[in-house]
Structure 1
Amino acid sequence: MKQIDRYLLGGIVKGTGLVLLVLLALSSFIGFVGQVDDVGQGSYSTADAMVYVLLTLPLIAYQMAPIATLLGALLGLGNLAANSELVVMRAAGISPWRLTRSVVIAGVLLALLSAALGEFIAPPSEQYAKRFRTLSINNELSMGQGQSGWIRDGNVIVNIEQLFDEGRAGGIYVFRFAADRTLASISQARTAVFTDDGHWVLGDTRRTEFDDNNVSAVSEVELRQPTELSPSLLGLSVVDADSLAVRGLVGYIRYLRANDLNADQYVTTLWSRVAAALSIVIMAVLALPFVFGPLRSSGAGQRVFIGVLIGAAYFLGNRLVTNSGAVYGLDPVLTAWLPTLVLTALTLFAVSRVR
């Protein structure tokens, strides 16, 4: 690595680190305020709320990495441009594409660090944070987690194969036990919808009831049952795409497909992880056209403002495409890659116009 590469790398990495610290501090404050209402429920204390917020920071840092990279590159390269250091580099015969190569090196390093965070630190930390908070608030519940979700509440044990969101689930098994711990009934439903009045509506249900001498089976198109289990509690016991590492996502996708379950959500998440690594590199490169153009002599505040606008547009566009893909049944790979590919095309076009 040449001196110019190290010089630009240092500026971008320092700027990105500073931005990320500010964003995490702001997120921590907002996250803690959001937990205040739950303090006092069960054994959930103020200290527990602080621990929960800290445990969620690795995933937040991973999700914020692209916009933090853009803002950090704008600050780092912007300072060099404001001090005319980039102009001196250009005057020394260093081409824009040579500078782009140095920025790409910095982007690749940040992408690798982000990937390591998202693969090895964020998933277990996020999983533990959710379980820690929910079990602190609901002391009497016990839960298990695996390929499908298990949750126990008193004499009822529920198994869920797939949770689409916090209101709909598929592949439901409800095991009810009598007071003497003998199995009283098993209900199997293809779908379940949770209502606001403390009920769930089981669709395409088959219930098997056991007594001392007989076993009876009843099939119903729709069955409405009261429940003490909230959708958020059930969601804790089911695999959350954001709480899985890439290797876990691959295994879970195979499991869903082997059981003829819809895996599109997890396929989209998997490829979004890969696309996110590329987007970090692209975000770093995207700063170059701005520092050589209209923002060369601008202050840090204006550069940050422009970076926030671009980052927000990318984030909202990504969410829009992802949600549209889920609603209209678009190819999950295309849904995951489209925002990053559009960003890449726009960045290459902007860099090609740098003189």
Structure 2
Amino acid sequence: MKTIRRLLYGEVVIAVLLVTLGFVSLFYFFDFVEELQAVGKHRDTGYTVAQALLYVALMLPSHLYELLPITVLIGTIFVMARLAQSSEFTILRTSGLGPWLALRTLMVLGLGFVVFTFAVGDYVAPMADKSAQLLKSRYQGKVSVGKTGAWLKERQAYSHYAVNVGALAPDASMRDVRIFEFNNQGFLVSMTEGQTGTFGKDDSWQLNKVDHTEFTSTDANATRVERSFVDTFRWSTQISAEMVATAVLRPERMGTIDLFQYIRHLDANGQSAQKYEIQFWKKVFYPLSCLVMVVLALPFAYLHFRSGSVATYVFGGVMAGISFVLLNNVLGDLGALQGWWPWLTAALPGLIYSFISLTAFTWLVIRR
């Protein structure tokens, strides 16, 4: 049995590695061609072709995380179909490799791919993506989330705060910070605008070049407005640098722990966290799709192939992998619009393909 495992695992790992290398190289080329536009736009700040190559290389772990289920499916289908065509799998079956033993053997390999995918998506990709954004911000001057910036909320004892951070600078400081303070009745109490801001070590923000406006009700029909300009302003808050970075960065490129902590912060302050909850559960279930893909590829070993028909089935594997990614993205957006349970929205693509793979295994392997 050790010889059979060594044969299957070695063939599948090499095939998946080659397919992954091909896909990653293709994405690297496309990203680099697109990044050449930024080289011309920011040439005066020192953003060269070498910097663009490094930036695109740092984005590769994110592509690797997204591609792994597809490459696992294609590589495993190729190996299973080739073994079936050369009658090697028939010899393995006559040597005692029954359907359930073959399924168990491939599932162990699939679990290895699950662990690797989780490690890439939860540790390598977020760190590489953050490094890539900081690298590019040195030449563009900031990291932002569009024209509106990032919005956060915080509840304190007697006030509610809505905070807007326009962008993050390369030194982890904030740009264009606006803080809106509301009382418990929902009336605007003050508005603070700072050109820059830094994170203090004592649960506070230090704002610089601040325009501070206070709204004070003198009676039922009159409000007094007091405006002042100060060089520095200290604001006590529990909003940390990690939370601001989480709000600025794309949620699908965050770690599971960071997503969980940010979801708790949003829930504690009465904000909608469904988008982040869906991404959190996707982080949990997406690596398991590698296990589903391995099971989906096993029935190809029990098919009868003619000469040259392997390429057709490999192409079918490519289409199945692409359809899984499309279904995963579409159901994520649809679940957010329809208000579905986040865990169900994230798990549904895997459940659908698990049903397809087990049905194919039962029909092609067990019954036939």
**TM-score greater than 0.5 by the shorter chain:** yes
Q: Which residue of 2 aligns with 1:218?
A: none
In the superposition, relative to structure 1, how do residues 107 and 174 fare at CA in structure 2: closer, same or farther (>3 Å)? farther
Tell me, yes or no, if the aligned pair for 2:77 and 2:314 is still in contact at 8 Å.
Answer: yes
Q: Which residue of 2 aligns with 1:336?
A: 346
Q: Which has the larger radius of gyration?
A: 2
Q: Does 1:158 align with 2:177?
A: yes
Tell me, yes or no, if the aligned pair for 2:278 and 2:342 is still in contact at 8 Å.
Answer: yes
Using the TM superposition, name which of 291-300 and 281-290 deviates more. Answer: 291-300
Q: Which residue of 2 aligns with 1:46?
A: 49
1:72 Cα deviation (Å)? 0.8
1:95 Cα deviation (Å)? 1.4
Name the SS of the counterpart of 2:59 in structure 1: helix
1:230-268 Cα shifts (integer Å, max 9, x gaps): xxxx99961421221111111111111111111111111
Q: Which residue of 1 aligns with 2:212?
A: 185
The one-letter amino acid of 1:175's match is E
- Whole-angstrom distance in 2 between the partners of 1:11 and 1:318: 28
- How do 1:201-220 residues align onto structure 2 when only pairs under 5 Å count? 210-211=227-228
The one-letter amino acid of 2:30's match is I
Tell me, yes or no, if the aligned pair for 1:185 and 1:208 is still in contact at 8 Å.
Answer: no
State the Cα RMSD in Å.
3.4
Q: Does 1:175 align with 2:178?
A: no
Name the SS of the counterpart of 2:47 in structure 1: coil
Q: Which residue of 2 aligns with 1:241?
A: 251
Alignment equivalent of 1:92, drawn from 92, 95, 103: 95
1:134 Cα deviation (Å)? 3.3
1:81-139 Cα shifts (integer Å, max 9, x gaps): 22211011122342112111111111111111111111221111011112322331x23
1:74 Cα deviation (Å)? 1.1
- Whole-angstrom distance in 2 between the partners of 1:336 and 1:25: 28
- Whole-angstrom distance in 2 between the partners of 1:252 and 1:236: 7
Unaligned runs of 5+ in 2: 153-163, 181-190, 197-207, 216-223, 230-243
Tell me, yes or no, if the aligned pair for 1:317 and 1:339 is still in contact at 8 Å.
Answer: yes
Tell me, yes or no, if the aligned pair for 2:80 and 2:300 is still in contact at 8 Å.
Answer: no
Q: Which residue of 2 aligns with 1:19?
A: 19
Alignment equivalent of 2:137, drawn from 134, 137, 148: 134
Tell me, yes or no, if the aligned pair for 1:70 and 1:287 is still in contact at 8 Å.
Answer: yes
- How do 1:1-355 residues align onto structure 2 when only pairs under 5 Å count? 2-40=2-40, 41=42, 42-136=45-139, 138-139=140-141, 141=142, 150=165, 151=167, 157-158=176-177, 175-176=193-194, 182-185=209-212, 210-211=227-228, 238-293=248-303, 298-353=308-363, 354=365, 355=368
- Whole-angstrom distance in 2 between the partners of 1:299 and 1:209: 79
- Whole-angstrom distance in 2 between the partners of 1:135 and 1:334: 40
Name the SS of the counterpart of 1:183 in structure 2: strand
Tell me, yes or no, if the aligned pair for 2:9 and 2:109 is still in contact at 8 Å.
Answer: yes
Tell me, yes or no, if the aligned pair for 2:55 and 2:132 is still in contact at 8 Å.
Answer: yes
- Whole-angstrom distance in 2 between the partners of 1:63 and 1:182: 43
Tell me, yes or no, if the aligned pair for 2:213 and 2:228 is still in contact at 8 Å.
Answer: no
Name the SS of the counterpart of 1:12 in structure 2: helix
1:139-168 Cα shifts (integer Å, max 9, x gaps): 3x488x999674379x9622599xxxxxxx
- Whole-angstrom distance in 1 between the partners of 2:130 and 2:96: 51
The one-letter amino acid of 1:115's match is F
The one-letter amino acid of 2:87's match is S
1:294-324 Cα shifts (integer Å, max 9, x gaps): 5575455323311111011111111111111
% identical aligned pairs: 31
- Whole-angstrom distance in 2 between the partners of 1:53 and 1:187: 46
Tell me, yes or no, if the aligned pair for 1:156 and 1:174 is still in contact at 8 Å.
Answer: no
- Whole-angstrom distance in 2 between the partners of 1:142 and 1:288: 45
How many residue pairs align between the two structures? 301
Unaligned runs of 5+ in 1: 162-172, 189-206, 213-233
Name the SS of the counterpart of 1:158 in structure 2: strand
Name the SS of the counterpart of 1:211 in structure 2: strand
In the superposition, relative to structure 1, how do residues 94 and 297 fare at CA in structure 2: closer, same or farther (>3 Å)? farther
TM-score normalised by structure 1 residue count: 0.75
- Whole-angstrom distance in 2 between the partners of 1:13 and 1:158: 49
The one-letter amino acid of 2:54's match is V
Name the SS of the counterpart of 2:212 in structure 1: strand
- Whole-angstrom distance in 2 between the partners of 1:177 and 1:133: 21
In the superposition, relative to structure 1, how do residues 142 and 35 fare at CA in structure 2: closer, same or farther (>3 Å)? closer
The one-letter amino acid of 1:325's match is G
Name the SS of the counterpart of 1:273 in structure 2: helix
The one-letter amino acid of 2:288's match is L
Tell me, yes or no, if the aligned pair for 2:192 and 2:210 is still in contact at 8 Å.
Answer: no
In the superposition, relative to structure 1, how do residues 126 and 209 fare at CA in structure 2: closer, same or farther (>3 Å)? farther
1:187 Cα deviation (Å)? 9.9
